[in-house]
Amino acid sequence: MNSTTPQWLGWLKRYRRSLLAGDISAGVVVAMMMIPQGMAYAMVAGLPPVAGIYASIVPPLLYALFGSSMTQSVGPMAIIALMTAAALGPLAAPGSALYMVLAAQLALVTGVVLLVCGLLRIGFLANFFSRPVMSGFTIGSALVIAWGQLPALVGVALPPVRLSSLYLPIHLPIHLPSVLLGGGALVLLLAARVWLARLLRALGLGPGAATIGARLAPMAVVLGATVLVAWLDLAAAGVKTTGAVPAGLPGLNLALSHGHWRALLQPALLIAFMVFLISMSAAQTLALKRQEKLHSNLELIGLGAANLGSALSGAFPVTGSMSRSAVNFSAGANTPLASVITALLLAFALVAPTGWLALLPLPVLAATIIVAVLGMLELATLRTALRYDRGDALALVATAGGVLALGVEAGVVIGVVLSMGTLIWRASRPHIVVLGRIAGTEHFRDIERYPGDTAPGLLLLRIDAGLFFGNVDAVKARIDEELAAHSTHCATRHLVLVLSAVNAIDTSALFGLTELNALLRQRAIKLHLAEVKGPVLDRLKTSDLLVTLNGKVFLSAAMAWDELANELANELATQA
Amino acid sequence: MNSTTPQWLGWLKRYRRSLLAGDISAGVVVAMMMIPQGMAYAMVAGLPPVAGIYASIVPPLLYALFGSSMTQSVGPMAIIALMTAAALGPLAAPGSALYMVLAAQLALVTGVVLLVCGLLRIGFLANFFSRPVMSGFTIGSALVIAWGQLPALVGVALPPVRLSSLYLPIHLPIHLPSVLLGGGALVLLLAARVWLARLLRALGLGPGAATIGARLAPMAVVLGATVLVAWLDLAAAGVKTTGAVPAGLPGLNLALSHGHWRALLQPALLIAFMVFLISMSAAQTLALKRQEKLHSNLELIGLGAANLGSALSGAFPVTGSMSRSAVNFSAGANTPLASVITALLLAFALVAPTGWLALLPLPVLAATIIVAVLGMLELATLRTALRYDRGDALALVATAGGVLALGVEAGVVIGVVLSMGTLIWRASRPHIVVLGRIAGTEHFRDIERYPGDTAPGLLLLRIDAGLFFGNVDAVKARIDEELAAHSTHCATRHLVLVLSAVNAIDTSALFGLTELNALLRQRAIKLHLAEVKGPVLDRLKTSDLLVTLNGKVFLSAAMAWDELANELANELATQA
């Protein structure tokens, strides 16, 4: 479905019956995946497991109304759950009534931030993170999440999920039945991850169905473990379970803490940024596969509405998730109807008797989290970056290290700083070459790479970068160096900047060029420009630079050479 | 003096006697300028006036040892003083002993940050501020400083210099003698600013000497006012004066507050950033004028040492100042010896009887501050930006507004975010054009600007921007749009990306191209590259992209056209 003019509910107007089978199967598969996942991520966030189900009902319905991606699956997500725990940890004790109020309030502020960004149309802000930095952030967060689940896996009381839980006490009391259950689940899930899809294909399933079947392993393992707990009465033996889950749909939550608005604003800004970033990266991958057009500002509004919905359900911040959306897509989802079906099934699970949910063993949920986040530990980006660009590899490792050492919130800031830092660092080393004329042609090339003619008193420099505040001082310094090097035998009289590769000149660079022009005038060197691109020249015409320019603007380097070399030769002849 | 291989004290080894006269005259002029200025900026920082003199003795001596600029004048500066007040305001009451300890400690942490940055060689970080944003930051800070001096000007008790003093009480008690003195000084200084240089030239001074003479007006006005205070015994009438200045050189200050390290770190980071930024912009202007080479990492070390010196003198953070350095330069400074002479003269002023310093009237010092910061209110950048680039103009106004509304520390962060924001915003709208072949030539041009031939099934796109994380998604989206537009009549079979203007491809963009390649393969569209620049191609060869590329790499757009258009024609012929 190629929707080049998406609009709210546009997909419903264009709905065709042929799309229904895919949407239903995807809706069912994602619902089965979401029950253990939602509960597990609620644990990561430091909330009662049912909050994860609540977060999976109203938010996807609202996203279906306002979002622009057809196959995005919105709900709880590991990194956002970790950020929720990090934000609320200093404000309230996990499990307390205040903690739950603040979790919903955090979703509210996050939703408002996303909506405001969408209305201001500043979706481009997602581009503040480079891919390697995002990879490092994900790896760091995955390690923090997995480490944080170890106590639950070995059966001690559910710890406050904080970054300090990274420093696990060495003499951890271990509860044997829990360890056996959790460890068994871990082994099963890891085995399923490696072999289940292959096994299902060997049993005759198609490759798509086999992959989807393998994704349901967590649900199967959780169900099996629940049966085991009930059968052997493991709860009495001390295995922690989710405990009674209140039956019925989430009520309308209007509880707010008036004292905490300010404290929640900064984490909400960081969470909103990551919600958008994570959701966009999932949606973009799917949109390109489906040849859909994505509207980043509609995405912001869809995600904002989803988070408001989560707040009203008494849950916590939600986002679109790559892993879940990919399952949704592979299971056949054609439109947001798949998410509507998922939401309805989850609502039904809460209305139906929820007694069985009370017996879900926490060590097994912890195992599902650990295996799920292992999937986030991809090293392909690091490997590529190591070969392709050491600076990017360093940024990746530093971001992962930052998340581990300073926490997930600091990690976001570190990621932005490192993304921008590598950008500015590269800009501070501009590629500038001295041009020589290839004998007998109108071609000019880097004299370091090709033998070319140069003329005494005439220096042609090609600048291979757009000029902006990040590199203008470095460019000026390089020009000064090249002038000094070129003026050893004969004073330079003409400097021609060949701007064929300069795609833009910002205001800072305009000032830089204006100052350079004034200084060269004092030194009796004429500054000329050549091969200025159309849009750049149009823009320069609105400034004073071309009026005050000490030299001329030439269409080509060859025309500059012909005129200026001639002029210099004539002067020499006159002097002689 | 062209110092292409600067080294510590290199200037002293190369010293010639002919340089001495200039250095002495500059040293004297700057010392006379520095006495009122240093005391006034100490007031802005919320410190006793003598701290401003202390900050002008050891720091320039250390900078002379370690810095790389020949004419930089290091000492107190208005914006850094304001930032000092903003940093210390929440921690201690201005004038208290703790406040003074913390001011020196702030200089210590700032100095360490600068030294560490210098040793890590990360001077490029100064490029995080665009010129318009710096202009906005300066304008906002100047207004905050001037406003903060109003109470001192009208004679109420010296207020704590905080941002809250922006909200001046309306029923301000006014002290008439102070208002007359301060207002008179203000009028005189403004008149001197406008007419004194002209007057001095009319009296026969050369233009340089006249400008320098005009710069000494504050010293003259302060001296005159001091005489007036002594003569009319205005102190008894309630005019506040600096009060007794301890005679003698600053003692070695080793007082530290162990409880405040953490609280000082963040402000120190912001102050260190601005210290470097302000100092570099002054030094760069002078270095270009003098054809000197500046080493940003040596600058960091010089400024770091200067701030450590300020801490040991019991003063506050210092920086190189544009206005003072320009006076130093115009007054004839050839080497850091000028600053050494300034420092010695100031030290002498403290050793000589300091009784007269006690009578400097604070309203007059406030007037000198107000007139000094008026010079920072330059609107030329705003005017240029308004014509040249609205986005930059907006960033300027927003930064100034941010400083006024949220304070100078938040202003630094806002400035960085806006600089980077405009950069990323521009990147999110990449310039991409569809190329057509100019009939009968090998030239390809934008079909929107020139009539050119296109071939059905073959799309040539030229991307006019380096590819990096900030624009790769936008570029992919644009490519998808162009493909959709081009495929209306006839399915596109070949996409050629002409990369003649792509100066770099970062790791994020490499992944983006790899994904684009995979998706186009699924859609049976071949992806080709053409006119890839040498350094970009060299880099791409270290990745898998060229191996997995679905199409070919062509030297030129014309070669791609010849081969692919032929291939398409042959296929059509075979089908027919």
**Secondary structure (DSSP) of A416-456:** HHHHHHHHHHHHTS--EEEEEEPTTSS-EEETTTS--B-BT
Q: Give the pLDDT score at B159.
A: 45
Tell me what pLDDT residue B6 has.
Answer: 45
**Higher pLDDT residue, A106 or B410?**
A106
- What token pair was written down for B242? 């600096």
Q: Residues A347-358: what's their mean pLDDT?
A: 80
Please report where in the chains the tokens 């919105």 appear, as a residue. Answer: A74
Q: Which residue has the tokens 């709208």?
A: B429
Share of chain A above pLDDT 70, in %: 95
* C-alpha A370: how far from chain center: 21
Question: What is the reported pLDDT for A85?
Answer: 94
Q: How confident is the model at residue A157 (pLDDT cuts 50, 70, 90)?
A: low
* Mean pLDDT (whole number) for A3-30: 75
Residues 6+ apart with CB under 8 A from A360: A36, A39, A49, A222, A225, A226, A229, A241, A242
**What does the alpha-carbon distance between residue B51 and residue B294 come to, in Å, rounded to a whole number?**
30
Closest Cα partner for B318 from B42, B30, B29? B42
Return the pLDDT at B163: 45
Q: How far is CA A326 from CA A64, A282, B467, in A?
A: 17, 8, 27
The whole-number pLDDT of residue B22 equals 84
| A500 has a pLDDT exceeding 70 | yes
Instruction: Summarize pLDDT for B6-45 with one digit per residue, the tens.
Output: 445 677 888 888 888 888 888 988 888 888 889 889 989 9
At B117 the pLDDT is 93
- Chain A residues within 8 A of B485 when measuring between CB atoms: none
Write out the H or E segment, with its range, that includes residue A337: helix A337-351
A residues 521-560 lying closer than 8 A (beta carbon) to B = 522-523, 533-535, 539, 542-544
Decide if B468 touches A, using CB distance below 8 A. yes
Most distant pair of Cα atoms in chain A: their distance: 110
Determine the Cα–Cα distance for residues B225 and B211; give it in Å rounded to an integer.
22
- What pLDDT does A435 receive? 92
DSSP string, A225-259: HHHHHHHHTTTTTT--B--PPPPSPPP------GG
Two structure tokens written together for B369: 């501050």
Question: Are residues B384 and A507, on separate chains, in Cβ contact within 8 Å?
Answer: yes
Q: Does B147 touch chain A (CB under 8 A)?
A: no
Instruction: List pLDDT tens digits, range A65-116.
Output: 888 888 889 999 999 999 999 999 999 998 888 999 999 999 999 999 999 9
pLDDT at A99: 94
Tell me whether A515 touches chain B (CB under 8 Å).
yes
What does the pLDDT read at residue B529?
Answer: 96
- Which chain B residues are closer than 8 Å to A393 by Cβ? 507
Q: Which string of b and e fits A509-526 if b means at least 16 CB within 10 Å?
A: bbbbbbbbbebbeeeebb
Kindly report the number of other CB atoms within 10 A of residue A15's CB atom: 15
- To test the contact with chain A by mutation, choose from B506, B522, B545, B547 the residue with the greatest count of A C-beta atoms within 10 A, namely B506
Instruction: For B122, name the nearest residue in chain A, comparing CA atoms only.
Output: A425
Q: Per mean pLDDT, which range of A40-49, A185-194, A341-350, B11-20 is the poorest?
A: B11-20
The answer for A 100-119 residues in CB contact with B (under 8 A) is: none
Does the pLDDT at position B479 exceed 50?
Answer: yes
**Mean pLDDT, chain A, integer:** 86
Testing the interface with A: which of B469, B500, B527 to mutate, by most A Cβ within 10 A?
B469
Instruction: Name the average pLDDT for chain B.
Output: 86
Place of tokens 């997500």: A77
Distance from CA of B478 to the nearest CA of A (A): 10
Instruction: Inspect the interface and report whether the beta carbons of A519 and B289 lie closer than 8 Å.
Output: yes
User: pLDDT grade, residue B506 (50/70/90)?
Assistant: very high
Q: What is the rounded distance in angstroms from the CA atom of residue A409 to the CA atom of residue A416?
A: 11
* Closest among A82, A87, A99, A79 to A45, alpha carbons compared: A82
| Cα–Cα separations (whole angstroms), residue A520 to A514, A538, A550 | 10, 24, 8
Contacts of A476 in chain B (CB under 8 A): 284, 288
For residue B517, the chain A residue with the least C-alpha distance is A288
Q: Does B95 touch chain A (CB under 8 A)?
A: no
Mean pLDDT of the A339-351 span: 90
Cβ contacts (< 8 Å) between A523 and chain B: which residues?
291
Q: Residue A160: which pLDDT band, with cuts at 50, 70 and 90?
A: very low
Which residues numbered 422-451 in B keep a CB inside 8 Å of some CB on A? 422-428, 431, 449
Convert the pLDDT of each residue in B380-398 to its tens digit.
889 999 999 988 999 999 9
Do the beta carbons of residue B107 and residue B58 sit within 8 Å?
A: no
CA distance B213 to B197: 7
Q: Work out the pLDDT band at A432, boundaries 50, 70, 90.
A: very high
Strand, helix or coil at B521? Answer: helix
* Listed residue (A453, A459, A458, A457) closest to A436, CA to CA: A453
Q: Is A8 helix (H, G, I), strand (E, B) or coil?
A: coil
Among A31-35, A413-417, A497-501, the range with the most confident prediction by mean pLDDT is A497-501
pLDDT, tens digit (0-9, with 9 covering 90-100), for B267-295: 999 999 999 999 988 888 777 777 777 78
pLDDT digits (tens, 9 = 90+) for B436-476: 988 888 888 888 888 888 888 899 999 988 899 989 988 98
Highest averaged pLDDT of the listed ranges A241-250, A286-295, A386-395, A437-446: A386-395
Has residue A31 got a pLDDT over 50? Answer: yes
Task: Count how many Cα atoms sit within 13 Å of the Cα of residue A512 in the half-sphere of its side chain.
Answer: 24
pLDDT at B274: 93
In sequence order, which ranges of B352-461 are alpha helices (DSSP H)? Answer: 362-374, 380-388, 390-406, 408-427
Two tokens, residue A368: 């599902």
Query: Strand, coil or helix: what is B496?
Result: strand
What per-residue confidence (pLDDT) applies to A164? 46
CA distance A19 to A70: 12
Strand, coil or helix: B242:
coil
Residue A576 has a pLDDT of 65
Q: Specify the 3-state DSSP secondary structure of A375.
A: coil
Please compute the mean of the pLDDT values over residues B327-352 and round it to a whole number: 88
Contact B543, B510 (CB under 8 A): yes
Average pLDDT over residues A296-308: 92
Say if residue A47's pLDDT is above 50. Answer: yes
CA dihedral B181, B183, B188, B189 (to 10 degrees): 110
Length of chain B (residues):
576
Distance from first CA to last CA of chain A, Å, rounded? 78
CA distance to partner chain A, nearest, from residue B66 (Å): 21
How much is the average pLDDT of B77-106? 92
Is pLDDT above 50 for A315?
yes
pLDDT value for A163:
45
pLDDT for the residue A530: 94
Picking from B456, B379, B412, B571, the residue whose alpha carbon sits closest to that of residue B82 is B412
Contact in structure between B38 and B55 (CB atoms under 8 Å): yes
Q: Count Cβ neighbours within 10 Å for each residue of A117-134 and write b for 16 or more, e otherwise.
A: bbeeebbbbbbbbbbbbb
Q: Tens of pLDDT along B142-171?
A: 998 888 888 888 776 544 444 444 445 545
User: What are the two backbone dihedrals, phi and then psi, of residue B6, each rounded to the nearest 5 degrees?
Assistant: -70, 150
**pLDDT score of A537:** 94
Q: Does A510 touch chain B (CB under 8 A)?
A: yes
pLDDT of B531 higher than 60: yes
Average pLDDT over residues A444-471: 88
Higher local confidence (pLDDT), B513 or A126: B513
Residue B285 in contact with residue B323, Cβ under 8 Å? Answer: no
Amino acid identity of residue B126, one-letter, is A
Neighbouring residues of B558: CB distance < 8 A, sequence distance ≥ 6: B437, B442, B444
C-alpha distances (whole Å) from A203 to each of A115, A190, A212, A216 are 48, 20, 14, 16
Please tell me the distance from the alpha carbon of residue A32 to that of residue A215, in angstroms, as a whole number. Answer: 9
pLDDT recorded at residue A172:
56
Decide if A127 and B428 are in contact by the 8 Å CB cutoff: yes
Which of A473, A481, A504 is nearest residue B284 as measured by Cβ atoms?
Answer: A473
pLDDT tens for residues B196-242?
888 888 888 887 778 777 878 888 888 898 889 888 888 888 888 87
Shortest distance between the Cα of A198 and any Cα of chain B, in A, equals: 24
Give the residue carrying structure tokens 């012909």. Answer: A562
Q: Please state, in angstroms and as integers, the Cα–Cα distance from residue A163 to each residue in A81, A95, A302, B301, B440, following that order.
A: 13, 17, 31, 36, 67
**pLDDT for A2:** 39
The pLDDT of residue A56 is: 93
Q: Among A249-253, B299-303, B321-325, B424-428, name the most confident range.
A: B299-303
The number of beta carbons lying within 10 Å of the beta carbon of residue A208 is: 11
**For every residue of B40-94, which 3-state class applies, written as one string?**
HHHHHCCCCCHHHHHCCCHHHHHHHHHCCCCCCCEECCHHHHHHHHHHHCCCCCC
pTM: 0.83
Distance of residue A379 Cα from the nearest chain B Cα, in angstroms: 14
Give the 3-state secondary structure of B282-339: HHHHHHHHHCCCCCHHHHHHHHHHHHHHHHHCCCCCCEECHHHHHHHHHCCCCCCHHH
What is the complex's ipTM, to 2 decimals? Answer: 0.83
Q: Which residues of A touch B388 (CB under 8 A)?
A: 507, 510, 539, 542-543
Position A159 scores a pLDDT of 45
CA distance, residue B240 to nearest chain A CA (Å): 41
Asked if the Cβ–Cβ distance from A481 to B508 is below 8 Å, we say no
Side chain identity, residue B240: K
Q: Reply yes or no on whether the pLDDT at A7 is more than 50.
A: no
